[in-house]
Structure 1
Amino acid sequence: MKRLTLNELKHRMSQITKKCIDLHGGGEEYFNELDDLIKNDEDFLISYLTHISQSSVKNIIISGEIGEKIAALRLKYKWFLSDCSIEYINGSLRKGNPIQYSNWKLDSYKNQPFIFVDDSYYSGKTLRIVRTYIEEVLGGYLQGSYVFYDGSEDNLDDVVSLYRYYDHFDN
Structure 2
Amino acid sequence: MREVARRGYADLRISEVARRAHVAARTVYLHAPTKQRLVQSALRGRAEALIGRIERWRPRGESADAVLGELIAMHEREYRAESVLLETLVDGALPREIAALLRELDGVRLAIITHTMNDLARHGGLRIRPSDAIALAHALLSYPTWRTALTGPGRRRAPRLIYSALRSALL
Q: State TM-score, norm by structure 1.
A: 0.31
Q: State TM-score, norm by structure 2.
A: 0.31
More helix by share: 2
Higher-Rg member (1/2): 2
More strand by share: 1
